[in-house]
Each structure stands twice: as structure tokens, then as C-alpha cells.
Structure 1
């Protein structure tokens, strides 16, 4: 079985300032042909630049894009055509099993490679964002391994920005008595999380909710352990809310950080009442273990 997409196009540009970037993104929605998807992201390198990108299933109007770039003070759009691709096959070629302490994250195509005595977490190639095959998620699993070595046993766990819910599933497997909540701002991610729970024989064991940050009754806390594998900006903004949701002496495992960003995030959480209890770098990425109080 294949999942071949037709040819698609991307159009990307950068410009300074959030307001201008968001306004440009809104204006792109009026293009003909209109983009099927849009993204507006801060480039977290200290430059103050924002990236605006559109995803098209028809070739975009180059002249209209040039006019938009000039009108909003953006760099000229870079337009790229992507050929028809079997993305599931592509991911399977790159998606090798990952071992992080006792955890073994794999796709069904590698089921015969699963070693005995490990906590096995199945993530299908078609659902491969946030699978543990990235230094940030792997770092979170290793931080969880460190807590297990300390004898830490949380009664309540939250996975904020859960993606495929690999971290929530890992926590539920090693803390079966704990109440575990997985949340994501994206409704599709919540559906993927629930699907992954089913294929791992864990349906109904983790509460999956759609929420931004801690803005949901299910995330009121207090939690003994919170995972937040997202980005620097949201992590810094979330620090006060995290302090309100984590129990005294509770832990927060934070990732999605480039190594150069870790100190800023650590400082924000120290100011909110946490102290740094551990730090691990994997390639370009850092995972922080913070302890409240």
C-alpha cells in the first residue's frame, strides 16, 4: 500500500516582525490559486525575522507573490516544486528503531527487530511526527529514564504538545497507576495520539484533549510530572502556567530547544520557581529537567 501525493509547490519568504508576518499570511489566503496550508513562524536565531510559507497543490501565481513580498517588505518568495512522492515509503527508509534507556520506539516494518525486556512503543510511519526519532523526544525519554533511576513515581502526568503521544504512552507504561493526560493544540494531532494508543493496546488509558498550553480543565493539575516538547518561545511564555500546574517538588521535562536556547528557558523557569535538576544535549538539541521548589 502506498500514499503517493501529487506534485505540490511551496512558497517561502522571510520578513521582520510578527504583525507584518501574520498580515502577509492572511493576505496569502486570498491568492488564486489559494494555498492549501499556511505557516507563520518566528525564526528563533535572534534575528527578529519571521518565516511565512504557503503549501499549494496548484502552481502559485509568481507575479502575485512578488507583489505581496514588495507590499509587505518581505524577501522575494522562493517557490519550489515537489515531485509526486510516496511519503510513507520515504519515512520508512529513514525511520529506524530508536532506543532510549529501556524505551524502544519502532514502526511495524521493524517489529522483528524488537529486543526482549524493553518498553516497546509502536509509531507508524504515516504518523511519524514526534516519534522519538528526533533528538528532542529522545532526550525526553532519557530524562524519564533518569527519573526512574531515582525512584520517582508520579501520581499525575501531563504531556503538553503531545504530537503522537509517545511521551504520554511511555509514562503510562512505566507508571501504570498514574493519571496521564496528553494535549495538543492541533485537533489532528489529538486524533493521531488516540490512534497510537489504540495500536499500542492502550486505548482509554490516557486522556487526550485539544488545548493550547494549560488552557483546559483536564490540565488544571497539580501534576507531578509534565513533558513539554515544543519550542523556546511557547516554553518561556508557559513558565508561569507551568508553575501553577506542577506540584511542589514536581518535575518538568522541557525540550524542543536548540542548545543555544537552553539557558534562556532555564532562566525563565528559575524565575517561576523551578530549579534546574538536569540537562542533556543530543546533537543540536537540549532537554532540561526542572524541579519545582
Structure 2
């Protein structure tokens, strides 16, 4: 199914104001929102919302209603996004990423690994997670700190994507890791990356929506749960996730915009978890909780 971009062309200052408005309208939903500079000299910017074609009618009506009062002269335009593997295309040639003791690199950058690095080889592909996004790098940093400072005997990577976080845990400590994703393509990619990194015997990959799999009860409860997805599903699953956390265990959450952090913290505090710390990277946050 096609992806649609609805956007307004305007000045930088008005684009930022429209971005704030769109964030209020869609901040708790799974739509990508952003601004892009089109022409620096002419001060032309675009404020955009991305969605699947099936959501366009509803999203368009909500944008138009929001713009009507605050920006009555704004013109809403439409673009159909080509069906391209943008993850692979946009990440081609990106440099290795360091986060904590980890170095995440593509196969073409094996020579960049230095003594003492915990190297994770991930090539750009069809699943999210190469270390370049602030949420992945933030999770790697907190994983490094948690595994070094607390006893961890098993772990869950929920929404594993490329498998990079599961691989990181396994490379830090010789413990079993369950890596799950709702997308079977991601699960397949994760399994391939696990094998590429030489640790296939320590990580189990499963396709599962949320916690709807016997794998969770079979492998849990977990001393460490990592979920780098989006704020809305993280908030929704807080009570269920907490039931799979062992006493004294840690939870690392990301995929959360800075403006959404307090709602996530409130949801997990309500599930009787303690907020330990929040780290920031490029407008995104990674939040660490534990069970006292």
C-alpha cells in the first residue's frame, strides 16, 4: 500500500508553528511529522505528515480542521511516496556509530573496529535499527550501563527490528535473549543478523504481536526488557510488560519523542516501576526504569 505525504509550503517560522499544531493533533499517534527546508534563500519550508493511503481521508480532515482556525490561508498539498526501500537507500554509505562500548558498522567498515570495541555488524536493510537513529544509539548506551552494573540472567528485545539491541545484550553478557517483532520480515532480518554476528545459539527470534505468544512465558520473566518502538504502544502495553519483568529487573524504552516522555513515565510509574533516568538524543529520549 502507498504512503502519502500531506504538507504545507510556507516560511520557516510558520512551518515550525504548524509543526507544533500538528504535534498537538497527532502527537499520540503513529504518524511521522516533520519540517524540511526547501529553499534557504527564498525561506521556503514544508511541514509534513506521513501516513498510509488508508488513513489519508481521516488525517486530511483533521489537518484541515486544525489549520482552518490557526492558519486559514495555508494550502494543503499531497504527494504519493514511491515504494522504495528507503531504509537501505538512505543508510547506504553511512559511517560506523559508537554508543558506549559498542561500534555498529556495516560489512564494508570492518576495518574500523578497534581493540576493545564491542562490534556489531548490521548492513542497511528492510528492518529498523542500524545505530544511526537517536533511539537505537540511546538504547545501546543504556544497555551498556545496565548490564555492567546489575545482574542480568535473561533478556527480552520487544520490537527487535534489525536485532541490533538483542545482539548487543548477547555480546555484552553470555545470557539468553528473546527477540520478537510483529513484522515477519523484521524477524527474518534479525535472525540473519544474529547469524552474521556469530551468536545464533544465544538468541531466539519470534514473530509475535505484543505479548501474544507462548514464547514470553516460556522464556520469562526477564531481568531486562528493551522496547524501542513508539510512545503510544509503549503506554498501552505498560501493565502487561511489567508482568513479564522479574523482581529487581530493568526496562529500557525508546522510540519516544521528548514531548511524549512524561506520559510514558506516568504509565510505567503506574505499573509500579521506578524511573531511573532519561537520556536525550536528537529530540528523542531513552528511558530506564527498574522494579525496586
TM over 0.5: yes
CA deviations 1:204-240 (Å, max 9, x no partner) are 3201001122221111221000000000000001100
Aligned to 1:246: 245
Q: Distance in 1 between matches of 2:99 and 2:207?
A: 28
CA 1:217–1:108 in 2, change beyond 3 Å: closer, same or farther?
A: same
CA deviations 1:19-56 (Å, max 9, x no partner) are xxxxxxxxxxxxxxxxxxxxxxxx9823147653249x
Aligned to 1:39: none
CA 1:79–1:106 in 2, change beyond 3 Å: closer, same or farther?
A: same
Q: Distance in 1 between matches of 2:243 and 2:85?
A: 45
**Contact kept in structure 2, 1:91 and 1:128, CA below 8 Å:** no
Q: Distance in 1 between matches of 2:113 and 2:281?
A: 23
Equivalent pairs counted in the alignment come to 244
Do residues 147 (structure 1) and 146 (structure 2) align? yes
Aligned to 1:210: 207
Aligned to 1:159: 157
For residue 212 of structure 2, give the secondary structure of its aligned residue in structure 1: coil
Aligned to 1:35: none
Do residues 199 (structure 1) and 192 (structure 2) align? no
How far apart are 1:129 and its partner, in Å? 2.1
For residue 233 of structure 1, give the secondary structure of its aligned residue in structure 2: helix
How far apart are 1:10 and its partner, in Å? 4.7
CA 1:104–1:44 in 2, change beyond 3 Å: closer, same or farther?
A: farther
Q: Decide which of 173, 177, 180 is 1:180's aligned counterpart.
A: 177
How far apart are 1:132 and its partner, in Å? 1.3
Q: Distance in 1 between matches of 2:22 and 2:159?
A: 18
For residue 273 of structure 1, give the secondary structure of its aligned residue in structure 2: coil
CA 1:115–1:257 in 2, change beyond 3 Å: closer, same or farther?
A: same
Show structure 2 runs of 5+ residues with no match. Answer: 8-20, 32-49, 65-75
How far apart are 1:81 and its partner, in Å? 6.2
Aligned to 1:284: 283
Aligned to 1:79: 79
